[in-house]
Amino acid sequence: MADRPLTLMAVHAHPDDEATGTGGVLARYAAEGIRTVLVTCTDGGCGDGPGGVKPGDPGHDPAAVALMRRKELEASCDVLKVSDLEMLDYADSGMVGWPSNDAPGSFWQTPVQEGATRLAELMRYYRPDVVVTYDENGFYGHPDHIQAHRITMAALEMTALAPKVYWTTMPRSMMRRFGEIMREFHEDMPEPDPAEAAAMAEIGLPDDEITTWVDTIAFSGQKFDALAAHASQGENIFFLKMGKERFGELMGMETFVRVQDATGAAVPENDLFAGLR
């Protein structure tokens, strides 16, 4: 590895996903001299338009939203000091059940092998030592997150590379804490119905099943600023309502489950690059 830098590749679904789950590690490892590569699979065209106009409403132009979100993504990458941004530019599929799920050309409708072939080319070019993406359920069931998981795992099978592979996750203890904080900020928020509460309880993992806890508190300010760079989606980014200090207290640890490793590094670990340096 003397002829190339250690490299982290994060594969995300939409502009702004890079900051939410991996903003801390992207900033931390960039500061440590590691090359950070972000692959964003969709154009984000199902996000809010100017003035908060929603997809499907009059005045929502997916192409214009995608262009706006690309600029925001580039600004976020500047904040996080991401070395290389690669966009696959598939059409955003929207949330579960939206008509855009079925639109020709949407990421959700793209054959896995097609997306995986393109991603495998990027993997062969960058030769990542660590790859990060979502779990089989895309963390919370978003179609594009699930598809990002599928193409990442298929792309890895297409290459001769053997990086450490991680899926983003969150400890259930932290999920409960987030629920408390959301009620604190929204005192009139109704209690979820039992089915919704049961589904929420399944998000994340029990604390003792998390393999990797990375301290990124020193970079939480960058993570906050990267999220804030996605200003057009501010209505949907709850974390920005906390303010930077509270955000740092709550978002200073990023957690993962390690699913592929050839280093033999012991778990639990506190470094995605444990065993590589």
Task: Report the chain's terminal Cα–Cα distance, integer Å.
Answer: 10
- In eight-state DSSP terms, residue 260 is E
Global pTM value: 0.91
Q: How distant is the alpha carbon of residue 132 from its chain centre?
A: 9
Domain holding 82, by residue range, is: 7-172+207-260
Q: How many domains would you assign to the chain?
A: 1
Crossing angle of helices 244-251 and 220-228, rounded to 10°? 120
190-215: string of b/e by CB count within 10 Å (b at 16+)? eeeeeeeeeeeeeebbeeeebbbbbe
pLDDT on residue 251: 86
- Reading the chain (277 residues) residue by residue, the pLDDT tens digits are 457 899 999 999 999 999 988 999 999 999 999 999 999 999 999 999 988 899 989 999 999 999 999 999 999 999 999 999 999 999 999 999 889 999 999 999 999 999 999 999 999 999 999 999 999 998 888 999 999 999 999 999 999 899 999 999 988 887 677 666 666 665 555 666 666 555 655 677 889 999 999 999 999 999 999 999 999 988 777 778 778 888 888 888 999 999 999 999 999 999 999 999 9
What is the DSSP secondary structure assignment for residue 56, as one 8-state letter?
Answer: T
| Alpha-carbon dihedral angle through residues 167, 139, 85, 114, given to the nearest 10 degrees | 90
Question: What is the CATH classification number for the domain harbouring 128?
Answer: 3.40.50.10320
pLDDT value of residue 234: 80
Q: Is residue 201 part of a domain?
A: no
Residue 202 lies in a domain: no
**Does 72 reside within a domain?**
yes
- Tell me, what's the pLDDT at 257? 97
> Which pLDDT does position 214 carry in this prediction?
97
* Domain contains 193: no
